[in-house]
Structure 1
Amino acid sequence: MAHYVGLDVSLDETSICALDENGNTVWQGKTSSKPEAIAKALSVKAPEAIKIGFETGPLSTWHWHSFKEMGLPVVCLDARHAKAALSMQVNKTDANDAYGLAQIVRTGWYKEVEVKSMDAHLIRALVSARSNLVQLRTKLSTHLRGILKTFGLFVGTTWNGAFEERVRELCFGIVDLESIVEAQLSVWRSVCEQIENLTRQIQAYVRSDQVCRRFMTAPGVGPITAMAFKAVIDDPGRFRKSSSVGAYLGLTPRRYQSGEVDKSGRISKCGDSLLRYYLYEAANVILSRVRKWSKLKAWGAKLSKRIGKRKARVAVARKLAVILHRMWVDNADFKWSDAQPA
């Protein structure tokens, strides 16, 4: 008899529930969250498992790839869909969640999530690490500016890495302040060095990757945006239509329709927030800095006059994501327009 298995995964232990075709419990228990331990328990307690389901989470990528290598019939469930079903239970326990997940995979009422490759996660980790360090550098420099303002010292605008020199110049001779500032400047300098190292890694990867170089033929798209887009999408074949990429990245408006009520709200902001930020910045560059004319820029310029610059940037970011996906599918570079603005 076929078995359907639900896994409620936590950091140390995983609750397991195996059901038969009629929904009767075959076995319930706990084991270590290591994929090998889970597979060993299933081989003994549910040897006829035809579906093994668990929710998306911090460990889902590791478990999914490990189970696939072992040849197990694993499916990764959308946590939002699973939550809607599990919320019907009176008592919230790990055992009950595992039982609910097993029932979900048995009935087929679930949405399977496409798990990205480990290479895509590695690329995304590189882009994310650089972004976090850039935020830390900004936070340190802002804090230093605030400290110096207290004593009537103003850093002002600095260019080409002159921030450190300007700060030292301002607090020169103030012994107590120098020691406080020096501690933070040493960290700021180290963060800047690591940002440069990660930036060089990104540039080296992009130079050797044909897909990223093709993305960079589009206006406003640099190495970081190209690399982030490739990491998040991973496989362009996941999308039947290129227009679906905008919704996947949270760049389409929410909608509520019931009876006579039909309202559209702000963008959903689901999906990868970092890539969404990079696409928005690329859209801003297209509308304000790129001088070469294109249909995308013309469309964004008309839209900006009608609905405002802020909403136009979001619309251009969405359209840029769709264009990048189509370029990837068609193996084609960005098509510029020969027409000039009126």
Structure 2
Amino acid sequence: MDTETTPLENIHLRSKIRGYARDQRLECRMKAKDALRIGLGQVKEEVAALESLGTKDVVGMAGRIKRRKHATSEDLCRLSLAFLQGNDNINAFAVIPGAIQVLVKELTGPHIQRHIDAVECLCNLSLGEAHISEKIASLAGSYMVTYLDGKEERLKKACLWTLANILATCEKAGRTLLQMQLVPKLWRLYSDPNGCQEDAGICLFLVATHCLQHVSAEDRRYIAQNLHEKKPEDPASEYFMYIVHQMEIVGQDQELGAPQAECLVHFFEATLASSVGSLSLIYAVRVMANLMAKKEPHLLGLMAEPQILVKTLNQLFALRDPQLSLDLMRLLRNFLQLNLSDSNQLLDTLQIYA
């Protein structure tokens, strides 16, 4: 199997995380306005005060919730806003013994809204450094992974945002989360038209980028068996081929049936028809090369037809992308080894650009 990879840019995902943080900030402002609506003349002043929460304010709030062993929705909103204002506030909170545990405690009560407030607060806390993500994963990871099975969409989204922050920040914390059956849950959400497909796709992308060595054989088998549940027209499909390639789903030790192989061919065709960048094409070609390396022509569908393959190869060689061309040569080599057509005749119809 061809497993060579190239560095993958995370700019798009980091931008998304920053966007989530901005959305959270706006939501917190609205919640703060509702909570502090003492009179129209005071609302603006109170909200303005929230904009400049410093480390002393954070330490004070941490001390109060620790003494009470409880955090109100207003406490959680204020802390969420404070964490967005910088790492100093995050670090000031994190060093208070028992403070994070109070936030985690709010995940265990009977009120869904309190769960949402607490996870959104932890989400902003997880924007901190690796040791903070590690602590959140160990204390709250099991709750967030469990809530992915629930029906409350806002809670699931908040959990996925937090998990994404953790996966992007700390490999050790990512390993902890993967031991909680995170990957199958993410794949179900990624494939479910009624799920949080974009957010689950980002999390799977981050798993494949930062925690690949901690993905279990069972997790890989689960994805291999359920590949066909994901459709090319679904949200976040641009991550599909990268996830499949990095996790070695199309490997010699993974059995693929006709529905799974057909899914891969459809994704390959959809990638060719889209305006995605060369990086997406590279991973799509690598997955198809690995599918051909399984030496089971019946799994290839239309790609087993020499004339269709030649047309596809010529289309991609014409892009004159050096890395893509190298992967196309691997795909061509694997196809020729299947002995489905006269090799010399096929090679004569190729248009390979130097």
> Shorter chain as normaliser: what TM range?
under 0.3
Looking at CA atoms only, which structure, 1 or 2, has the larger radius of gyration? 1
Structure with more helix by fraction: 2
TM-score by length of 2: 0.27
TM-score by length of 1: 0.27
